[in-house]
Structure 1
Amino acid sequence: MTVTFESVLEKDYEHYNKLLERKDTLEVLKWAYATFEDKLVYSCSFGAEGMVLIDLISKVKKDATIVFLDTDFHFKETYELIDKVKARYPTLNIEIAKPEITPEEQAEKYGDKLWEKQPDACCGVRKLVPLQRELDKYDAWISGLRREQSPTRANTQFVNKDNRFKSIKICPLIHWTEEEIWMYIRLHKLDYNELHDKNYPSIGCEYCTKPVAEGEDPRSGRWANTSKTECGLHINGSGI
């Protein structure tokens, strides 16, 4: 039977997470691809967690589909990293999802610098709508969320009901620490965004990401000087 958002009950999520609770990340990924096959996609922002997941996914499914939400506002270092990843993993299917309107059309419709005036609206146009369009093609998606990243992510499970996108969200890295992420990157000599070496622990769009001072919350550089802490991709009725 095909496993879809509509077919999975609350008790099924409990069953899946009980089944996987003592499994490592590779085993979770193997279960996910065995369960959803080609109806599973990884939405990747190409952060540090993304580099780890891409490498692990390549060991499980060499032709896996990975989608990147290109808002048109990313750092040049992010685009350069994507090119490096494509060269290192040539069999992976890395797709670029773009917003329906260009930055110029956005400025004409909503005014200049929407990210400053209404950051939630900007994320909606350039991230949420494109991701919804992509996830509509699949039954489940993979995310690199880790529990220690923020209080809003502390209760994330391996298998999650995603009410926002009407999908099933798989989070294989929930137990990893930041130290473990970087140990894996260095051990396997993985490429990563050069901005991480310049005090950017969390990297989003260029206009909404600032470097973080030592000792500050790693995500404090995202939407700095606003009350916004998430782009909205990981907030839904289940609290993640």
Structure 2
Amino acid sequence: MTAVLSPSIDLDQVNQELDGQHPAQILAWALAQFPTGLVQTSAFNVDDLVITDLLYRQLQPAAPIPVLFLETLHHFPETLELVKKAESHYKLDLQVYQIRGVNDRTEFAQKFGESLWDTDVAKFHHLTKIEPLERGLLELGTTAWITGRRRDQAVTRAEMPYVELDKLGRYKINPLAAWTRKQSWIYVAEHGMMYNPLHDQGYASIGDEPLTTPVGEGEDERAGRWRGLGKTECGIHI
């Protein structure tokens, strides 16, 4: 892949200017800065849905912002049902990307073996997330993409800026960087938002079904992701 030409932005200056602003204000800045080529990437976790609600209900840009969802073929049924509900409720410009040439878990297992996530989790993530994401961002003509990451989610995200560059020179915008998990849930309650029912069953952060477990009391929010594998990221945000 070749580098993407993006508008010239002084990252240090813009991160100082955005510091302390509400996520809605950061998103408004993004809409003004990137009238085209702006994409939201979403796994339909609570933080992603907060951003979608801000974009589609509150800010209401003239043209809907594409929402890029990675169909890994290994999601919980509850997650896929939530995607359908959110697409209908917000009338999303939903863009679904998945591995080429494979249509379901059975075909995936036949092609790559049973439980690839156990034998080669890096390959599993490349096939189901990294390559489809890169292809999706490229095909959508992305100049800047919005994530739902927060600094308090993991030590690897503690210094995350509001705006940064990815490896191809596209801008990554993290409007919830300074928010806490509590603030996201307060927003959900205040606006009566839908959310994944698995959150009520102890799943603090929800990814692929084979690699996600409930979180125990006192555990880190993302402790249930890739439990026992020593991972903190799937590779998308590295």
- Whether TM-score is above 0.5 comes out as yes
Correspondent of 1:145 among 145, 149, 153: 149
Alpha-carbon separation, structure 2, partners of 1:234 and 1:225:
20
Confirm or deny: 8 A CA contact 1:69 1:98 kept in the other structure: yes
* Alignment-mate amino acid for residue 148 of structure 1: D
Query: For the residues of structure 1 that align with 2:236 and 2:136, how far apart are their CA atoms?
Result: 13
Using the alignment, how far apart are the partners of 1:61 and 1:30 within structure 2? 10
Aligned counterparts of 1:176 and 1:22: Cα–Cα separation in 2: 10
Q: Would the alpha carbon gap of residues 105 and 77 (structure 1) be closer, same or farther in structure 2, given more than 3 Å must change? A: closer
Q: How far apart are 1:5 and its partner, in Å?
A: 5.1
Counterpart in the other structure of 2:100: 100
Does residue 38 of structure 2 align to residue 40 of structure 1? yes
Tell me which residue corresponds to 1:171.
174
Aligned position for 1:55: 53
Q: Distance in 2 between matches of 1:100 and 1:84?
A: 25
Partner Cα separation in structure 2 for residue 161 and residue 230 of structure 1: 18
Aligned partner of 2:130 in structure 1 is 128
Partner of 2:14: 16
Percent sequence identity over matched residues?
Answer: 38
2:172 counterpart SS class: strand
Q: Name the CA distance, whole Å, in 2 between partners of 1:186 and 1:144.
A: 18
RMSD of equivalent CA atoms: 1.7
Q: 1:128 to 1:182 in 2, by over 3 A?
A: same
Amino acid in the other structure paired with 1:188: H
AA of the residue aligned to 1:121: K
Structure 2 match to 1:217 = 220
Q: Distance in 2 between matches of 1:139 and 1:221?
A: 32
Provide the rounded CA distance (Å) in 2 between the counterparts of 1:187 and 1:88: 17
TM-score, with normalisation over the residues of structure 1? 0.89
What is the identity, as a one-letter code, of the residue corresponding to 1:55?
A: D
1:234 aligns with 2:237: yes
Distance in 2 (alpha carbons) for counterparts of 1:6 and 1:83: 34
Instruction: Give structure 1 stretches of 5+ with no counterpart.
Output: 236-240
Partner AA of 2:109 in structure 1:
A
Alignment partner, residue 238 of structure 1 = none
Q: Partner amino acid for 1:118?
A: D
Q: Distance in 2 between matches of 1:115 and 1:28?
A: 36
For 2:132 and 2:108, the matched residues in 1 are separated by 14
Query: What is the CA–CA distance in structure 2 between the aligned matches of 1:73 and 1:227, rounded to whole Å?
Result: 20
SS of the residue 1:38 aligns to: coil
Question: 1:20 and 1:172 mapped to 2: Cα distance?
Answer: 9
Gaps of 5+ in 2: none
Equivalent position amino acid for 1:126 in 2: T
Structure 1 residues 117 and 64: CA distance shift in structure 2, 3 A:
same
- Tell me if the contact between 1:135 and 1:167 (Cα under 8 Å) persists in the aligned partners: no
Residue aligning to 2:183: 180
Q: Please say if 1:81 is aligned against 2:85.
A: no
C-alpha deviation, 1:38, in angstroms? 2.6
Q: Give the TM-score taking structure 2 as reference length.
A: 0.90
- Give the AA of the match of 2:175: P
CA contact (8 A) 2:147 2:172 kept: yes
